[in-house]
Chain A
Amino acid sequence: MRRSVAEVSLSLGVLALGIGVTGVTATLPSGGGYAGIGPNFIPGVVGAGIILLGIWLAFEAFTDGWRNAAPDDAAARGEHAFHGAGFAWISAGLFIHMALIGWAGFVVAGVVLFACVARGFGSARLARDLGLGLVLSVAIYAFFVKLLNVNLPAGWLAPLLGTAGV
């Protein structure tokens, strides 16, 4: 008898999503015109499908675990034990990037993201990471803004980078 907390949680998560989709679908209008079905019909089908799949997954999780699942042994999956710090550094980097990009600009946010991700992969050379991040971000910024005319925020570095467009 094999039961995995992760499989049970994921199954119940799918089930919860299905219930949520069905709940929101109930608020959609059903007016259908010639077809006789409205914008709520397919969402209803998809919601019901997700609920059924959640039940199916949960059934497998509670009886012997998911069928044909990845092996329980980490080495057999080609993995080491879960390394939380790596996961956390990348997540933190993406959230700081989200907060910074609007006002500090694409380049500053990119440098911070670069350094955080590199740290998550075990880099201990902060100065090198900041330098490489700066070179890459400025290169991307210059290419997209000056050459392709894509609008990216200059933020704090606006006096140095100039404004968008050629």
Chain B
Amino acid sequence: MEAFDALLAGFGVALKPINLLWGFIGVTLGTLVGVLPGVGPALTVAMLLPLTVKLDPTGALIMFAGIYYGAMFGGSTTTILLNTPGESASIATALEGNRMAKAGRAGPALATAAIGSFVAGSIATVLLTLLAPLVVELALKFGPAEYFSLMVFAFITVSAVLGSSTVRGLTSLFLGLFFGLVGIDGQTGQPRFAFGVGELLDGVDVVVLAVGLFAVGEALYVAAYQSRLTESLEKLKGSIWMSKADWNRSWPAWLRATGIGFPFGTIPAGGSEIPTFLSYATEKKFSKHPEEFGKGAIEGVAGPEAANNAAATGVLVPLLTLGIPTSATAAILLGAFQNYGIQPGPLLFQSQAELVWGLIASLYVGNIILLVLNLPLIGIWVKVLSIPKDILYAAILVFATLGAYSLHQSWVDLLMLYVFGLLGFAMRRWDIPVGPAVIGLILGPLAETQFRRALSISQGDATVFFTQPISATFLAVTAALVVAPWIVRRMRRGRTA
């Protein structure tokens, strides 16, 4: 059991008092910021990135694992008490959780979300521990052609296959790919799209793009379209503990949801949205109380929340073993890795085993911190939720500008932040997904590097992507994903005509 030894060594790293402290700070800050209405996990991670600039890589990454989990849990608290899902993955929770809160059962809803997240997160971390070495084994056989084809597959699934519109998803992706081109070409030193501006030569930073799209764009959107609406915050009444019946109805939902969430997280399927809805539908089907669904059924909170956390952990499999982010949050995490000169992938498991396994071990620890921290502190999170919108967004924007300005101490980054804010405003209002742009920015330059490497090896022969069996398989699956829905529609139309 080589992986087991590695994991034990990882625990040695994660349980060092200083790293425990970073994990603790990460979970607390992640929950605190994640609870804020309108702040999803992606924005939470992006806004807190500047905090880690002076930390050593291991401590910083452990802190980020904590922020990642904390942000996920914080979002569900907001959804249950406020019914404004900060992220698409919370929509399923909003269906039942908010109704439970309205019926005075906010406590058990929050408890099943917290304990379900812990159970699902822990099982998913065990699965990650077992699966990661196998994927690494496979990934070591990949050359540049295989990587490029795999990245094309990820591009297409996150932009064209998921979401309400193929063309708008692809537009978002290509905007991200374009932003990724700005700066100095890594292979020839040629500046591209920088127009002689020093700040642009460094490329578009993922923090500026993500904070611009998510924070500035959201602030502009809410001020323009939603600031005059009133919303009701549900009070936390009665016991926060779950009754025996609540337990009996929750635990099968947690386990089923873990089984749904983890596999969906590991494939490039855009993160948590699909598994949470699948879990919701499954629970509705299995429940002995289907009549309660739509009125506050506890399974409808337990399942989606567990699925969300299992998928969030599953996303780390391709991120750590292949270096491929499959959600906007994962792309920002990859950006954080790159800031430390760390490129996740199979080689990282060999060259920096201590760091990777320390990170994985800290996921176990983070889950426990999350559980012990969240239920007792629930009163504080509720107070955070009642911050008025004017103060909330003012504070978010002051913090958002800090992250952009601290890159080069330059107003040019602040101008870029505003331009991305305008873009985020338009994307939000006219229903263009934002995630593919963030993924495109981070993954685009990696894909270009692999593409050019593959062609260098093959002396410019472009057929290499189709003649290598693994690469050809990835491309064939990608093509099938694009063409299949179109053919199905055609056949249906042909039959009815």
Contacts and interface: CB of A to CB of B under 8 A. Distances in A.
Given A53-B171, A150-B53, A113 B397 contact: yes
Interface in B386-419: 389-391, 393-395, 397-399, 401-402, 405-406, 409, 411, 414-415, 417-418
B460 A83 contact: no
B418 A91 contact: yes
Contact of A121 (B53, B175, B394, B417): B394
Contacts of A38: 188, 190
Contacts of A36: 455, 459-460
A10 B164 contact: no
Given A69-B430, A133-B394, A39 B227 contact: no
B160 to A, nearest CB: 11
B174 A117 contact: no
Contact of B398 (A10, A41, A136): A136
| Size category, A interface | 35 or more
B393 A98 contact: no
Contact of B224 (A83, A118, A150): A83
B51 interface: yes
A99 B411 CA distance: 7
A78 B453 CA distance: 48
Interface in A30-85: 31-39, 41-43, 46-47, 49-50, 53, 56-57, 60, 66-70, 74, 77-80, 82-84
Interface string B178-221: 10010001011010110000000000000000000000100110
Interface string A1-37: 0000011001000100100010010001101111111
Chain A interface mostly: helix
B451 interface: yes
A42 B181 contact: yes
Contact of A10 (B170, B177, B190, B426): B426
17 contacts: A10-B430, A28-B192, A34-B457, A35-B452, A35-B455, A38-B190, A49-B177, A53-B167, A67-B165, A69-B431, A79-B225, A83-B228, A94-B414, A109-B401, A118-B390, A122-B228, A150-B406
Nearest to A7: B430
Nearest to B452: A35
B448 interface: yes
Contacts of A74: 225
Given A113-B397, A120-B227, A121-B394, 16 more contacts: A39-B188, A42-B181, A49-B170, A53-B170, A68-B165, A69-B430, A83-B225, A83-B227, A86-B224, A94-B397, A97-B401, A113-B394, A114-B394, A114-B398, A148-B53, A153-B409
Contacts of B414: 94, 97-98, 101
B377 interface: no
B418 A94 contact: yes
Nearest to B451: A42
B226 interface: yes
B161 to A, nearest CB: 14
B430 A66 contact: yes
Contact of B167 (A47, A56, A151): A56
A91 B397 contact: no
A149 B52 CA distance: 11
A135 to B, nearest CB: 10
Interface string A144-163: 10001111110000000000
A32 to B, nearest CB: 7
Nearest to A137: B398
Contact of A37 (B190, B193, B460): B460
Contacts of B219: 90, 117, 120
A136 to B, nearest CB: 6
B37 to A, nearest CB: 13
Nearest to B412: A98
A53 to B, nearest CB: 5
Nearest to B399: A140
Interface string B426-463: 10011100000000000000001001110111011000
B16 to A, nearest CB: 21
A39 B406 contact: no
A37 B393 contact: no
A97 B219 CA distance: 16
B488 interface: no
